[in-house]
Structure 1
Amino acid sequence: MQKKAQLPVNQVSGIAVDRIHVNQYSGGIVGPSVQMLGPLKDGGTLITGTPPGCWGPMITPAFQGGHEVTLPVAVEGAEVGDAVALIIKKMTVTSLATSSGVMRFVEGRYHGDPFVAKFCAQCGTEQPASYVQGIGEDAIHCKQCAAEVSAFQFSHGYVIVFDQDHQLSLTVDQSIANRLAGQAEQIAALPEHAAQHSILSLARADMPGVAAHMRPFLGNIGTTPARDLPDSHNCHDFGQYLIDAPHRYAMTEAELIAAKTDGHMDTNSVRAGSILICPVKIAGAGVYMGDMHAQQGNGEIAGHATDVSGETELEVRVIKGLTLDGPILLQRLDDLPPMARPFSTEQKQYIDALANHWGQSQVEESAPITFIGSGKNLNDATENALQRAAKTTGLAYNEILNRCTITGSIDISRLPGTVRATFLCPMPILEQLGIADLVRQHYQLESTTRKEV
């Protein structure tokens, strides 16, 4: 039987608290109309338990978005035009297994976009309630008429199990996949208020025996957009399907660009030990999260990775007056591209000696920074990330190109169109942005200013 998410009454009050635990979800939509919890104090702790992202909501027709993210949390003092820093402390996978793979749409079961506007082809019910009966790709049925109703199937899929230390994983054969499907909700560790069906019920096992490393991260995390959007479309590449769409979330490209906060990044370095700095586009920011993945290489080449239930703990800080169009990421040191890593004390001594040798009096102090960009394709996403970097730092666009070339990198987060542009940014600029102390603390950098040599 399909579970119904139990939403609380509006829990925003005038009293900010130090700690909030969120285990309730928005039903696939993010935006100003979604109930906001809190407020959380500036510097407070936010803890969430989240259900799997893509495949569960995809095969649950009532969802109007491709994820199941938390209700948003208001942050005390966060105003439109500010930013909030999400300092990710812990991230833990709670599922014992999941299933994923390459998707295909089932024509005749959706209006324009199968993530957003599903309907039952037999009785015509829009976003019908549904239930699971049996296992396999015909296991999802409409409650109204009992017809098989999923708008998604696998063209190639797998079931993957995780070791108890969450370091390694292994895909399994059909007999094991069938056994797991019989207890899908328990194996997936679906939280109490999750409303999705478990993708384990489909039991697709096309490539057994493949071992893989685990490295959990959140695929959808950030702040509430300025208008209601399907949660998986809070970005430009997925969001482009909203442009002139035949459903109520249709909008123009200009409206999408103005509203979105690029929370859906699928950037595998948004994990414990990193800091995500997000734009504030509604009062209170409305921090939400979901779509934890157990692992994913750059690009998410299959279109989907290993969606899992999980728990996340982070600290939230308000950065006044830092107006952003999209996220800035302070990656873990071990996730940084080699060219963007901070210089060691020994390396700085060599740099000073090189400057002395050639008579170069000025040597810049710098630190790593990553700008997330999204677009219809990778070229557009790269341009977006670079333009955001130029606009935010005040550096000339062509200088950003040079800095990314010799002190950084462009890395694919997700096909078709999300990238990260990383480079070593001058410390005086980070001071102007109000994030220099955060950067120094994160990368354990000395706070002294380098003298002319």
Structure 2
Amino acid sequence: MAQHEIQQELSVDQYTLGLVGPDQEWAGAVADGGTIRTHTPPACWGPMITPEFRGGHEVTRPVRVENAEVGDAIALKIRDVEVTSVATSTGSMAEREDAFGDDPFVDHRCPECGTEWPESVVEGTGEDAIRCAECGANASSFGFEYGYTVAFDDDRTVGLTVGEEGADDLANDAEGAMALPDNSRQHPILLYKPSEIPGTLGHLRPFIGNVGTTPPIEMPDSHNAGDFGQFLIGAEHDWGLEDEDELAERTDGHMDINAVREGAVLICPVKVDGGGVYVGDLHANQGDGELSLHTTDVSGRTEIEVEVIKDLDIDGPVLLPNEEDLPHISKPYTDEEIETGRRLADQYGVDEVRETGPIQVIGSGATINEATENAFDRAGTLLDMTEGEVRARCTFTGGVEVGRLPGVVQLDMLAPMDRLEARGLAEHVRSQYDL
């Protein structure tokens, strides 16, 4: 990749065609301590119905971070997330089996003329609107099994599902309503105009569904996780993997964890020199687990401050969410609770009440159980603990939360501060929670 001048602030307006990895062109370089700004198009549904894409998302080109080397980590401090779309469509998916090979997100082909990753054009609206530019056939790999269209208020605080008339109006201004950035190459999902559950009001709270660092192997951006990545093992397309060992090269950027929002700090592994930070897949809202496998994809702006943490050799992300997003059991102790703990220590002959701080270790795998085991392994390595100690601390001062079914979790723990000091994380934890 070409070298770029290091900038204190870098704005990114170029996107990949559904891939992440070392072969992707750099968007530029940002200083250690600098700021990345993005305006990203929706991910999931738009790229899913656009057969030119090699993956299910449209994320930014990677950004090189000054001083970031393999074996380090990068703290992504999410300063701002702003939704620019005024509406979106989403729901649960139905696959069109004649429009792909092994994987409907990856190896698209026209069901009529057989062209791989065919260029496409839009003709009208509805689920047959995406047409092969070569032969005119419906070339999209996906439709809705059950879908709905949501319109947002001006302040993006609530969304309301609309009926057939509203969905049709939005479909006829799909690109404008979704605020697609100039360099986006997807077809907007509003074209499909689904209209189930009209009149349902939902709370909005935007977050970033796919954000992190570049893996050392090329892979579809939507599959950079241990659950979606399973579809790559044994696949015959260009990004097929042989086994779980190859999938272990992932960086788990595709988390769909709704706590990865404004105010959070996401600490990501560096597996290629420069880190290769990328951003995409903003959602207007989502319940834990993303039970439809998809949610309210939107265009939006982000502002992220980056800081390199030297020699923090982690396998996957560590999240420091906003304090209000922590479960009660994992919140920092109040002064009154600490004083009560000290009285108990005096009563029972305990030398000290150990200082702790909240962290969430991200795990992913084929199932929730396998994702949790992955998080146990990562937490044990990070904090130099046996699995027994990890399980004990996460039972007494934490737990496991589901980011996405079938297999992304957040392993909550109040971690001993001396262990965090040893790994260079204590300063970030203290700053995040004002400890």
TM-score normalised by structure 1 residue count: 0.95
Residue number among 305, 326, 329 corresponding to 1:336 in the alignment: 326
Q: 2:316 maps to which residue? A: 326
Query: 2: CA distance between counterparts of 1:266 and 1:105?
Result: 21
Question: Over residues 344-374 of structure 1, what are the superposed CA-to-partner deviations in whole Å (9 max), with x where a residue is unaligned?
Answer: 1121111111211222222100000100000
Question: Tell me, what secondary structure is at the counterpart of 2:134?
Answer: coil
1:114 maps to 2:104: yes
Q: 1:98 maps to which residue? A: 88
1:49 maps to 2:39: yes
Letter in 2 for 1:247: H
Q: 1:223 maps to which residue? A: 213
Q: What is the total number of aligned residue pairs between the two structures?
A: 435
Question: Over residues 17-70 of structure 1, what are the superposed CA-to-partner deviations in whole Å (9 max), with x where a residue is unaligned?
Answer: 101000110110000000013221100000011000100000000001000000
Kept in 2: contact 1:32–1:282 (CA 8 A) = yes
Q: Map 1:299-448; keep pairs closer than 5 Å.
A: 299-445=289-435
Residue number among 8, 12, 17 corresponding to 2:3 in the alignment: 12
Kept in 1: contact 2:122–2:129 (CA 8 A) = yes
Q: 2:169 maps to which residue? A: 179
Kept in 1: contact 2:323–2:433 (CA 8 A) = yes
Q: 2:200 maps to which residue? A: 210
Question: Tell me, what secondary structure is at the counterpart of 1:137?
Answer: coil
Query: 1: CA distance between counterparts of 2:2 and 2:279?
Result: 18
Query: 2: CA distance between counterparts of 1:411 and 1:316?
Result: 26
Kept in 2: contact 1:11–1:37 (CA 8 A) = no
Letter in 2 for 1:365: E
Query: 1: CA distance between counterparts of 2:119 and 2:173?
Result: 21
Query: 2: CA distance between counterparts of 1:255 and 1:230?
Result: 17
Q: Map 1:29-108; keep pairs closer than 5 Å.
A: 29-108=19-98
TM-aligned CA deviation for residue 11 of structure 1 = 5.8
Letter in 1 for 2:87: A
Letter in 2 for 1:387: D
Question: Over residues 236-291 of structure 1, what are the superposed CA-to-partner deviations in whole Å (9 max), with x where a residue is unaligned?
Answer: 10011000102010112234333200000000000000000000000100000100
Q: 2:16 maps to which residue? A: 26
Q: 1:243 maps to which residue? A: 233
Question: Tell me, what secondary structure is at the counterpart of 2:97?
Answer: coil
Q: 1:296 maps to which residue? A: 286
1:146 maps to 2:139: no
Q: 1:280 maps to which residue? A: 270
Question: Tell me, what secondary structure is at the counterpart of 1:259?
Answer: coil
Letter in 2 for 1:208: P
Letter in 2 for 1:149: A
Q: 2:188 maps to which residue? A: 198
Question: Over residues 110-167 of structure 1, what are the superposed CA-to-partner deviations in whole Å (9 max), with x where a residue is unaligned?
Answer: 0110000010011110000001111111111000111111110101000001111111
Q: Runs of 5+ in structure 1 lacking a partner?
A: 1-9, 446-453
Q: Runs of 5+ in structure 2 lacking a partner?
A: none
Letter in 2 for 1:345: D
TM-aligned CA deviation for residue 108 of structure 1 = 1.2
TM-aligned CA deviation for residue 220 of structure 1 = 0.3
Question: Tell me, what secondary structure is at the counterpart of 1:85?
Answer: strand
1:162 maps to 2:157: no
Kept in 1: contact 2:85–2:177 (CA 8 A) = yes
Residues 282, 177 of structure 1: CA spacing in aligned structure 2 closer, same or farther, 3 A cutoff? same
